[in-house]
Amino acid sequence: MKPTIAALLALVAGLASNLHAVDPPEPFVPLPHSRQLAWHELGYYAFVHFNMNTFTDREWGEGTESPQLFNPTELDCRQWARTFKEAGMQGIIITAKHHDGFCLWPSQYTEHSVKNSPWRDGQGDLLRELSDACKEFGLKFGVYLSPWDRNQPTYGDSPKYNAYFLNQLEEVLTNYGEVFEVWFDGACGEGPNGKRQEYDWPAFIAQVRRCQPNALIFSDAGPDIRWVGNEGGDSSETTWAPLRRDEFYPGIPGRNRELGEGHADGTHWLPPEVDVSIRPGWYYHASQDNDQKTVERLMQIYYNAWGNNGSLLLNIPVDRRGLVHENDARRLMEFKAARDAVFSRDLAIGKPVTASNVRGNDDRFSAGLVTDGHPDTYWAADDELRQGILQVELEAVTPINHLVAQEFIPLGQRIAKFEVSARVDGAWRNVATGTTVGNRKVVRFDTIAADAVRFKILDALACPTLHTLELYAAPPSVEIQTAPAEPDGHTQVTLISDYPEADIVYTLNGSEPDPFGILYHAPFTIDRQATVKARAYFLGRGGVTPAVTRLDLGAE
């Protein structure tokens, strides 16, 4: 059979592109391990502090508490898993043992456990129930096992206690299926013999590797994930995944800033995890039932963690019933709705992209790969370059206020400085600057209606790569301002958006305003019985993205 013209052309094109083919960039060490790459995909999972302290209203127990006190009345791990799954979390890490030494599983090495509690007549195993619930709901299961143990008589007798801890690790890591993360706190104290315990960290780590080769180990010094250096939900604008790991050990004092920032010349890939509680305490206290962090603060924390090269481990203190408290569940869902409102629609996906340089002019590294939504493709520059510009054409004037950038981290973290600009009426305006990117950087800026966006890499430690550029428009907010008005009992209502060009729509009967509702033009008056709800929309400008604000003026 004769070759067709199309086949010949394809052959010639193939040969031509082979002539240009270059190798991918040399890896820039340190590189992430495959288990770390899998972890980077997670981003957001639950911490549950639930143990003896839940029943004594404390944060740290003494280790002398009677097991009789542990008695949840309605414990339901399926309710936890269902709630966290609906909230968009990917796993749960449970305090299997906290500093007071009480074990949530019937350990054969101590009497200080659920087996001597009234819960399930001493027959219960919370790790069994939780790991089963995680499997049922498709969540990952992780454990916090405190080395500091204020109950264990051998604590302080270092070799003996280390053997005890290794045995417990084995129990927890071999009886409950796959464990995705083992969380080590660095706290250390003196035992009953007055001696300070010396932990055998190399043995602890080897035990985890032996029992759960895919599990990530968290501590101040990793070896897989590092503490971010604070428990308040903050992070550093500059965040290198690499760290000079050998300078660190669990519980190291005085180096919190470096734990946040990492090191540009770090020797090991050791990205940060932001651990923070939704309430003031780690454990449940009825007095904090209304003290959840606001949605705004949770969003800020999410940007600090997930949006800054790390992940968010958000603690939800399960209550004395053994349930996620209604108020915490409600806040988790509000937080999810707020994330969805920002991140549900990538305005850059599939849009054309040009670059100042494409590695070897090779299509395998072309600019358009940053908006193709594919998990394995990336743009890369020529070896000698430390800069680069990528320009996304939006093809229509589009309001935007978030950019998400991701480096191709299997080849290491490289970008050290960047700038974002937007084209408005043919002129480029600088909207944000930043430093590191790594696995993910979320850049936020004031809403701007632009028809193109530039991501300018100003400095890198090696030739830059970029896996993804995404653009989003968080809904504009609406503030409802009120003032007394004539006749008596009437109120003047003014609606103000943080984005002046947004269209504000409102209702007076409590119903949700949709884009076809009453358009706001000027202040108006209402009587006491009205319920005003308002939303701002980017009507006809790259899609409808609503925000809702409500004001109830004494309606029923």
Task: Give the binding site for ligand FUL (CB under 6 A).
Answer: 59-60, 185, 187, 275, 282
Residues 337/298, Cβ–Cβ less than 8 Å = no
Q: State the nearest-atom distance from the C-beta of 185 to ligand FUL, in Å.
A: 5
Dist CA 420 CA 413 (whole Å): 19
Element (DSSP H or E) covering residue 80: helix 77-86
Residues 416/459, Cβ–Cβ less than 8 Å = yes
Nearer to ligand FUL (CB atom), residue 228 or residue 536: 228
Residues 408/465, Cβ–Cβ less than 8 Å = yes
Q: State the nearest-atom distance from the C-beta of 189 to ligand FUL, in Å.
A: 11
Residues 437/406, Cβ–Cβ less than 8 Å = yes
Q: State the nearest-atom distance from the C-beta of 60 to ligand FUL, in Å.
A: 6
Q: What are phi and psi of 203, to 5 degrees?
A: -70, -40
Dist CA 389 CA 370 (whole Å): 12
Nearer to ligand FUL (CB atom), residue 144 or residue 418: 144
Nearer to ligand FUL (CB atom), residue 60 or residue 524: 60
Nearer to ligand FUL (CB atom), residue 50 or residue 418: 50
Query: What Å distances lie between residue 504 and 42, 284, 492, CA to CA?
Result: 36, 41, 16
Nearer to ligand FUL (CB atom), residue 80 or residue 472: 80
Q: Give one DSSP letter per residue of 180-235, joined into a string.
A: -EEE------B-TTSPBP---HHHHHHHHHHH-TT-EEEETT-SSEEE-S-SSS--
* Helix, strand, coil percentages, rounded to 5, for the chain: 25, 30, 45
Nearer to ligand FUL (CB atom), residue 150 or residue 351: 150
Q: State the nearest-atom distance from the C-beta of 439 to ligand FUL, in Å.
A: 23
Q: State the nearest-atom distance from the C-beta of 411 to ligand FUL, in Å.
A: 33
Q: State the nearest-atom distance from the C-beta of 188 to ligand FUL, in Å.
A: 11
Q: Residue holding tokens 């300070």?
A: 196
Q: State the nearest-atom distance from the C-beta of 279 to ligand FUL, in Å.
A: 13
Nearer to ligand FUL (CB atom), residue 185 or residue 319: 185
DSSP, collapsed to helix, strand or coil, labels residue 139 as: coil
- Beta bridge partner(s), residue 47: 93, 315
Nearer to ligand FUL (CB atom), residue 184 or residue 365: 184
Q: State the nearest-atom distance from the C-beta of 350 to ligand FUL, in Å.
A: 42
Residues 313/47, Cβ–Cβ less than 8 Å = yes
